[in-house]
Amino acid sequence: MEIYTIGSGTGVPSLRRGSPGTVIRAGKSVMLLDSGSGTLRRLLEVDIDFSEIDYLLYSHFHPDHTADLVPFLFASNYGSERKRTRELCLIGHKGIAHFYEGLKDVYGKWIIPQSYTLNIMEMKDKEIAFSDFSLQGFHLEHSDHSIGFRVTTPGGKAVAYSGDTDYCPNLILLAREVDLLILECSFPDDRKVEGHLTPSLAGRVAREAGCKRLLLTHFYPPCDDCDVKGAVESQYSGTVIVAEDLMKLAI
Where are the domains positioned within the chain? 2-246
Q: How much is the pTM?
A: 0.96
pLDDT over 70 for what percent of the chain? 98
Checking if the pLDDT of 82 tops 90, the result is: no
pLDDT over 90 for what percent of the chain? 95
Measure the CA–CA gap between 151 and 35, rounded to whole angstroms: 18
CATH topology of domain 2-246: Metallo-beta-lactamase; Chain A (3.60.15)
- Residue 221: which of 5, 15, 4 has the closest Cα? 15
pLDDT, tens digit, 9 for 90 and up, residues 127-167: 899 999 999 999 999 999 999 999 999 999 999 999 999 99
User: CA quadruple 93, 13, 218, 43: dihedral positive or negative?
Assistant: positive
Measure the CA–CA gap between 96 and 112, rounded to whole angstroms: 15
Measure the CA–CA gap between 26 and 150, rounded to whole angstroms: 12
Which pLDDT value is given to residue 81?
67
- Assign 45 to helix, strand or coil: helix
Measure the CA–CA gap between 55 and 71, rounded to whole angstroms: 15
Measure the CA–CA gap between 214 and 207, rounded to whole angstroms: 10
- Residue 149: which of 245, 54, 56 has the closest Cα? 56
User: Looking at the chain, which runs of residues are DSSP E strands?
Assistant: 2-7, 21-26, 29-35, 55-58, 88-92, 118-122, 127-129, 134-139, 147-152, 158-161, 180-184, 213-217, 239-242, 247-250
Number of H helices, E strands in the chain: 7, 14
**Average pLDDT across the chain, whole number:** 96
C-alpha distances out from residue 36 to 19, 21, 51, 209, 214, Å = 5, 6, 17, 28, 22
CB atoms within 10 A of CB 98: 12
Checking if the pLDDT of 80 tops 80, the result is: no
Measure the CA–CA gap between 61 and 144, rounded to whole angstroms: 10
Checking if the pLDDT of 125 tops 90, the result is: no
Which pLDDT value is given to residue 179?
98
pLDDT tier, 29 (very low <50, low <70, confident <90, very high otherwise): very high
